[in-house]
């Protein structure tokens, strides 16, 4: 029995064509895969850049707010310093004015004290001289009465000048204190002076102050 032999004829061109097609498909697959990776990478790069830009925007905005806040803070500090300067200047002027007022008060009190003391001694001497003449001469009697009233008035003035001197020394001590005294202390001193003056009876309403 004879064997059947099947002969397969392969066309070389077809084989080459199939092989080429397979290689082309493989290349296309690799190119497509590479493009896909490139696109994915590009997407990630773009996303990262977007996040970076967003972060940069937020950082810039925060810096802008910080600079604005710093500007407002500096402006506020400038206003505070200016206000403090004006307050200090006003206090300085007040203390200077108060110092001059105290010096003037002291000078006035000393002058009044000296004047009233001189008048007081002069009146006492005149009074002493007039008393022996009182029984013999009516005109001298009137002169003695007038001198007596003058004596009382000058005695009253003497009390006021002594109190003024005391007050000026008190205020002078306040001026020299560090820190300077608050205004209520000065006001209290002036109220004290007014109280002292009000406690001294006027010669028109009382007897001679001894």
Asked if the structure places residue 150 within a domain, the reply is yes
Check residues 57 and 110 and name the one with the higher pLDDT.
57
Asked if the structure places residue 79 within a domain, the reply is no
CB contact at 8 A, 143 and 130: yes
Give the number of domains in the chain: 1
Asked if the structure places residue 207 within a domain, the reply is no
Q: Tell me the three state secondary structure of residue 168.
A: helix
Q: Which of 5-9, 85-89, 150-154 has the lowest mean pLDDT?
A: 150-154
Asked if the structure places residue 127 within a domain, the reply is yes
Tens-place pLDDT, residues 142-182: 655 665 565 566 566 666 666 666 666 666 666 566 555 55
Asked if the structure places residue 67 within a domain, the reply is no
CB contact at 8 A, 132 and 101: no
Q: Which two tokens stand for residue 155?
A: 């005695």
Tens-place pLDDT, residues 11-35: 777 878 888 888 888 989 998 898 8
Q: Which two tokens stand for residue 132?
A: 């022996």
Task: Name 163's Cβ contacts closer than 8 Å, sequence gap at least 6.
Answer: 193, 196, 197, 200
* Calpha distance 161→174 (Å, rounded): 20
For the chain, the straight-line distance linking the first and the last C-alpha, in angstroms and rounded, comes to 181
Average pLDDT, the chain: 71
Asked if the structure places residue 137 within a domain, the reply is yes
pLDDT band at 137 (very low <50, low <70, confident <90, very high): low
* Neighbouring C-alpha atoms within 13 Å toward the C-beta of 20: 6
Find, among 166, 88, 81, 155, the residue nearest to 123 by Cα: 155
Q: Which of 116-120, 139-143, 189-193, 199-203 has the lowest mean pLDDT?
A: 199-203
Q: Which two tokens stand for residue 40?
A: 């994915």
Asked if the structure places residue 59 within a domain, the reply is no
Asked if the structure places residue 123 within a domain, the reply is yes
Task: Give the whole-number percent of the chain exceeding pLDDT 70.
Answer: 48
pLDDT band at 205 (very low <50, low <70, confident <90, very high): very low
pTM for the full predicted model? 0.35
Query: In which domain, by residue range, is 161 found?
Result: 86-199
CB contact at 8 A, 168 and 109: yes
């Amino acid at each position: 029995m004879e064997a059947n032999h099947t002969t397969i004829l392969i066309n070389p061109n077809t084989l080459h064509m199939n092989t080429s097609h397979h290689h082309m498909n493989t290349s296309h697959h690799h190119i497509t895969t590479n493009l896909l990776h490139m696109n994915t990478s590009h997407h990630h790069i773009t996303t990262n850049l977007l996040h970076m830009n967003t972060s940069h925007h937020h950082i810039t905005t925060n810096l802008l707010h910080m600079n604005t806040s710093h500007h407002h803070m500096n402006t506020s500090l400038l206003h505070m310093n200016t206000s403090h300067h004006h307050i200090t200047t006003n206090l300085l002027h007040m203390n200077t004015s108060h110092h001059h007022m105290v010096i003037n008060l002291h000078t006035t009190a000393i002058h009044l004290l000296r004047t009233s003391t001189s008048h007081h001694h002069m009146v006492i001497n005149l009074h002493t001289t007039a008393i022996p003449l009182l029984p013999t001469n009516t005109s001298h009697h009137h002169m003695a009465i007038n001198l007596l009233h003058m004596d009382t008035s000058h005695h009253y003035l003497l009390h006021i000048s002594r109190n003024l001197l005391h007050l000026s020394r008190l205020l002078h001590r306040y001026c020299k204190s560090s820190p300077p005294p608050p205004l209520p202390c000065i006001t209290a001193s002036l109220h004290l002076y007014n109280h002292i003056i009000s406690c001294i009876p006027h010669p028109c309403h009382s007897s001679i102050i001894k």
